[in-house]
């Protein structure tokens, strides 16, 4: 079993193994795609991204058809990633994702590849855009002064500040959060990130991945959320669901103030591949 570099002409062959939100980056070349075949038929793909001006890369996605697992397809893709990353001067590749299915199946896979991973459990909730808007009005947070900027509209200096913060604090690539179609929001003051809301999209379902604020003033994050909700109601219908992975104390506090505590949990796997 061998891996292959998937160029734009071959992307359609692997579309079933590439998350929809990564296709734009794959088409533009911002994301690199590797594929693997079984009996000449595509059976899995890996998507990764190199951070410009850095020796760091980000593993965005790896997916193998369930009927082709445990026969070396995943290992082949990771081997291809190591080969390609080394050629481009990348020394470490970070990843952070929520594993599908039983996380216990993921751990042996990474251990066999000598990749150190850590698993975290976070509160998880889902609300529609309309529900969030009404909850903010009910709690009198809907009047919080709109603040922050769309990440896709930042000037070069602020974008670099945001990229450095995200890489150092979240081990994540900014690529998924800088498009006007799925805008993230950030507040930057005196050269530092004051607050941020990161949102991604997959097949029409929004995912609120990260809420952060540096100060204890809840109005700052509420104002940023107001900006985000206002913008997203222009882009999506009021019934559009937003899945919330509450990975920070600030995000949990804001959610609990709006809706009360959630009983649902989600598992996140994080790690780094050293080359």
What's the confidence (pLDDT) of residue 135?
Answer: 92
pLDDT at res. 123? 94
Say whether both 81 and 137 belong to one domain.
no
Q: Name beta bridge partners: 57.
A: 50, 93
Same domain, 156 and 251: yes
Q: Is residue 34 part of a domain?
A: yes
Domain for residue 188, yes or no? yes
pLDDT at 157: 93
Same domain for 234 and 159, yes or no, is: yes
| pLDDT for res 144 | 66
CATH number for the domain harbouring residue 144: 3.40.630
The reply to whether 172 falls in a domain is yes
Least Cα distance to 71 among 105, 103, 38, 47 occurs for 38
Beta-carbon count within 10 A of 73 CB:
24
> What pLDDT shows up at residue 258?
92
Contact 58, 48 (CB under 8 A): yes
82, 142: one domain: no
- Rounded to whole angstroms, the Cα distance separating 72 from 261 reads 42
Among the candidates 72, 90, 108, a domain finishes at 90
> What does the pLDDT profile of the chain (275 residues) look like in tens digits?
899 999 999 999 999 999 887 888 899 888 999 999 999 999 999 999 998 778 889 998 888 998 888 888 999 999 999 999 999 999 989 888 776 555 455 667 777 777 878 888 999 999 999 999 999 888 887 666 778 899 889 999 998 898 888 877 765 666 667 677 778 899 998 999 999 998 887 767 788 888 888 887 777 888 888 888 888 989 899 999 999 989 888 889 889 999 999 999 988 888 888 88
Q: At what angle do helices 249-259 and 218-235 cross, to 10 degrees?
A: 70
Q: What pLDDT does residue 142 have?
A: 64
Residues 267 and 100: their CA atoms lie apart, in Å, by 9
Residue pair 259/124 in contact (Cβ under 8 Å)? The answer is no
In a domain, 100, yes or no: no
Same domain flag for 70 and 138: no
Domain coverage including residue 24: 3-90
**39, 156: one domain:** no
The beta-strand segments (E) located in 98-251 are 117-128, 149-150, 185-189, 192-202, 205-213, 241-245
Q: What DSSP string runs through 119-132?
A: EEEEEEEEEEHHHH
Report if residue 32 sits inside a domain.
yes
Identify whether residues 142 and 248 lie together within a single domain: yes
Q: What is the pLDDT of residue 33?
A: 97
Task: Give the chain's domain count.
Answer: 2
Considering the domain architecture, whether residues 70 and 144 belong to the same structural domain is answered as no
pLDDT score for 81: 94
In a domain, 96, yes or no: no
Q: Do 71 and 177 belong together in one domain?
A: no
The CATH number of the domain holding residue 51 is: 3.40.630.30
Instruction: Answer with the one of 49, 69, 90 that is the final residue of a domain.
Output: 90
70 shares its domain with 22:
yes
């Amino acid at each position: 079993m061998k891996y292959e570099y998937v160029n734009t002409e071959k992307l359609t062959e692997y579309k079933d193994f590439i998350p929809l939100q990564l296709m734009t980056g794959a088409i533009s070349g911002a994301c690199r795609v590797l594929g693997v075949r079984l009996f000449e038929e595509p059976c899995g793909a890996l998507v990764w991204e190199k951070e410009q001006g850095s020796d760091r890369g980000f593993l965005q996605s790896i997916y193998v058809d369930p009927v082709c697992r445990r026969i070396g397809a995943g290992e082949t893709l990771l081997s291809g990633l190591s080969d390609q990353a080394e050629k481009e001067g990348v020394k470490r590749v970070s990843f952070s994702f929520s594993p599908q299915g039983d996380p216990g199946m993921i751990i042996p896979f990474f251990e066999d590849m000598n990749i150190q991973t850590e698993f975290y459990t976070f509160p998880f909730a889902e609300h529609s855009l309309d529900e969030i808007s009404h909850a903010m009005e009910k709690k009198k947070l809907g009047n919080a002064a709109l603040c922050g900027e769309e990440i896709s509209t930042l000037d070069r200096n602020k974008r670099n500040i945001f990229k450095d913060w995200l890489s150092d604090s979240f081990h994540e690539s900014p690529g998924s959060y800088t498009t006007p179609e799925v805008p993230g929001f950030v507040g930057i003051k005196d050269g530092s990130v004051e607050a941020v809301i990161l949102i991604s999209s997959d097949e029409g379902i929004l995912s609120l991945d990260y809420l952060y604020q540096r100060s204890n003033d809840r109005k700052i994050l509420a104002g940023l959320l107001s900006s985000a909700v206002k913008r997203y109601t222009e882009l999506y219908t009021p019934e559009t669901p937003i899945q919330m992975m509450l990975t920070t104390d600030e995000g949990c506090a804001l959610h609990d103030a709006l809706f009360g505590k959630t009983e649902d949990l989600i598992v996140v796997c994080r790690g780094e591949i050293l080359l």
